[in-house]
Structure 1
Amino acid sequence: MLAIRGLRKSFGGRTVLDGFDLRTEAGEFVALLGPNGSGKSTALRCAVGLETPDGGSVDVDGTAAMVFQKIHLVGRRNALDNVCSGALGRLPLHRSFFFPHQIREEAMQCLDRVGLADRALDRCARLSGGQQQRVAIARALCQRANVILADEPVSALDPQAAVQVMELLVDLASAGLAVVAVLHQPELAQKYAHRIVEMRTAVAA
């Protein structure tokens, strides 16, 4: 569950979020739509702790993980190692260069969940854009997240890959995760999301 109440955020005197509220339950897939500058990405970044809001509150029942438009995988490393990196936050520093067997097993399960267990040892640079995005989602799962925040996860993908990623996000919600995705394609939001939240550009004070 994710509960955002009265979120406010400004950058350089420009108001981006002004009293934004959002509640997402486990098992729900919510799409955020709206024009550029309406604060969609900022809301997710505040929710996951990448930005500090000026006001309001964010409550997460469990752990939230972010999936980005720019996928931020290490291209020279294989898919399995990239997914293992999702566990870094719970490993001691001296174990951060060599992932223990139990982490690698968990990462393999995450890759299997996104349909890429057979590509575990492939370098990420050799994977397609859609496959890379699914690896990024598997990495979020390896953080043991029960809230997935996806910032334009399909905007850089071809239509077939976009459908695969959207279907994966729906499946994750059906499995009990809370999923919030920023989208710029209303037709995808209408087809796949359980609920659509439309955001508008905040009026500067």
Structure 2
Amino acid sequence: MEKALSVKGLRKSFGDRVVLNGVDFDVAAGEFVVLLGANGSGKSTALRCVVGLAEADAGEIAIAGDRAAMVFQQIHLVRRRSVIDNVCAGGLAGLPLSRSLSPVLFPKDLRAKAMACLDRVGLADRAKDRAGSLSGGQQQRVAVARALCQGAGVLLADEPVSALDPAAATQVMSLLAELAHRDGLAVAAVLHQPDLARRHADRVLGLLHGEIRLSTPASNLSDVDIEALYAPDRVSA
């Protein structure tokens, strides 16, 4: 399978605390990978380094098409704006500044692309609604549509279902899996729910103390594997 994301020797420290200690992993186009690990294991920092929100101390990051989009635990929609205006925000980087200052200036082709992205996540019928009127699960799907509007081939998600109820979490995880398997995106998500990883992911990477200690097909993830990653006496302060 073609590697859409390749990370080699990734290192990151905050002061004296080593967060990532030579992390290597790949995500192929059409693959859904989940990163598991206790708080402080380096999962979120790894994704933030990939998209440039944190600067790695060392290592190499290669992204097919040089573009990755990210969905966050905190959804960060502009609640008073319409759903489609929020999705259009994903494509503003490709516009001249004069066309990105106000939603009324967004070109028709950007709005058409945003509508296609909303249709992909099953929310085209809510395009004109205020983002704040949607449920938490629907808002996270809008955030996914906003990421899709960037046109990236790599989609990263940092704890995208941590604040959602079980039904909404399943919807979002199913959507991420579909975007990998049906649309051919490379998708990587940080989770704290091993059962969701088993049900939806293709492969699981387990981080412990800033190192990848586990790489396994999701269907093979065992309770022993989970205990090794989350045992209290193995979690750094």
TM-score bin (small chain): over 0.9
Q: 1:17 aligns with which of 10, 14, 20?
A: 20
- Paired residue for 2:55? 52
- 1:93-136 CA distances to partner (integer Å, 9 max, x unpaired)? 00002210000000000000000000001111100000000000
- Give structure 1 stretches of 5+ with no counterpart: none
Distance in 1, matches of 2:59 and 2:162, equals 29
**1:21-100 matches, cutoff 5 A:** 21-62=24-65, 63-96=67-100, 97=102, 98-100=105-107
- Paired residue for 1:120? 127
Cα RMSD between the aligned structures? 1.0
Q: Which amino acid aligns with 1:142?
A: C
**1:50-199 matches, cutoff 5 A:** 50-62=53-65, 63-96=67-100, 97=102, 98-174=105-181, 175-199=183-207
Distance in 2, matches of 1:118 and 1:76, equals 18
Q: Which amino acid aligns with 1:129?
A: G
Task: Identify the structure with bigger relative contact order (alpha carbons < 8 Å, sequence gap 6+).
Answer: 1
Q: Which amino acid aligns with 1:193?
A: A
- Give the direction of change, closer, same or farther, for the CA distance of 1:170–1:202 in structure 2 (3 Å limit): closer
Q: Which amino acid aligns with 1:147?
A: V
Larger CA Rg, structure 1 vs 2:
2
Shift of 1:31: 0.2
2:88 and 2:110 in contact (8 A); partners too: yes
Aligned residues: 204
Name the SS for the 1:50 alignment partner.
coil
Distance in 1, matches of 2:25 and 2:89, equals 29
Q: Which amino acid aligns with 2:15?
A: G
**TM value normalised by structure 2:** 0.85
- 1:151-182 CA distances to partner (integer Å, 9 max, x unpaired)? 00001000000000000001000120000000
**TM value normalised by structure 1:** 0.98
- Give structure 2 stretches of 5+ with no counterpart: 212-235
Name the SS for the 1:199 alignment partner.
strand
Shift of 1:196: 0.2
Shift of 1:202: 3.4
Name the SS for the 2:155 alignment partner.
strand
Name the SS for the 1:145 alignment partner.
coil
- Kindly report structure 1 stretches of 4+ aligned residues shifted beyond 2 Å: none
Name the SS for the 1:19 alignment partner.
strand
Name the SS for the 2:208 alignment partner.
coil
